[in-house]
Chains A and B, each alone.
Chain A
Amino acid sequence: NAGVTQTPKFRILKIGQSMTLQCTQDMNHNYMYWYRQDPGMGLKLIYYSVGAGITDKGEVPNGYNVSRSTTEDFPLRLELAAPSQTSVYFCASSYSGENSNQPQHFGDGTRLSIL
């Protein structure tokens, strides 16, 4: 039972490069989320999805894009990496229905440095 899997675990990028952070879950969860965690801070929501084909912005979406073509996968794309995007990125998923709201399950994170 893998849960939420994020790849890569670590990455160093140069300013202006692009990359995709991968996230996949095997729990058939409908909701998926991307958060970033900066030192000494809590997590902040970047983007979220309530199901395949549906995505929306969170509190800090600038510089990022997402897609949700399948229930399992929710990749996060950085188009032009900037030093301000140095952070630890967490993907999470949960099942939420009309009468149900299960807690979010988190991946182990991707530690990204932009130099």
Chain B
Amino acid sequence: AQSVTQLDSQVPVFEEAPVELRCNYSSSVSVYLFWYVQYPNQGLQLLLKYLSGSTLVESINGFEAEFNKSQTSFHLRKPSVHISDTAEYFCAVSEAKGRRALTFGSGTRLQVQP
């Protein structure tokens, strides 16, 4: 079984400031790691994923996350946030084999202020 812990339920930040959203996971099997973003009253959109290879993964809109196996972490970072980044962010893991369902953290609400 897997579990995901997102350490911050809310993160207020000013526009153009850097931000880090923290995520730790536990699992007894190999996993894939994901960050999803949810805008109000919408479904979840994939932000970025780690399946294998380079431990640093990047999204098209400036976010990046680094897989750290020894610390079982997959923190999400952005060097300069915009108002439009205001949303709920979910870290998730899935088994590399089997049912491959996602186990989600409880989410972090990023609030970007002008």
Residues of A within 8 A of B (CB): 4, 31, 33, 35, 40-45, 48, 50, 56, 58, 90, 92, 94, 96, 101, 103-109
Contacts and interface: CB of A to CB of B under 8 A. Distances in A.
A108 to B, nearest CB: 5
A35 B99 CA distance: 14
Given A45-B101, A107-B43, 20 more contacts: A31-B99, A31-B100, A35-B102, A41-B106, A42-B104, A42-B105, A42-B106, A42-B107, A45-B102, A45-B103, A50-B99, A56-B99, A96-B100, A101-B32, A101-B94, A101-B96, A101-B100, A103-B49, A104-B46, A109-B43
9 contacts: A4-B43, A43-B104, A50-B99, A92-B44, A101-B32, A106-B36, A106-B44, A106-B45, A108-B42
Interface of B: 4, 9, 32, 34, 36, 41-46, 49, 51, 90, 92, 94, 96, 99-107
Nearest to A40: B106
A4 B42 CA distance: 13
A22 B41 CA distance: 18
Given A101-B51, A101-B96, A103-B49, A43 B102 contact: yes
A115 to B, nearest CB: 20
A48 B45 contact: no
Contacts of B100: 31, 94, 96, 101
Contacts of B101: 33, 45, 48, 58
B38 to A, nearest CB: 9
Nearest to B109: A40
A45 B4 CA distance: 14
Contacts of B49: 103
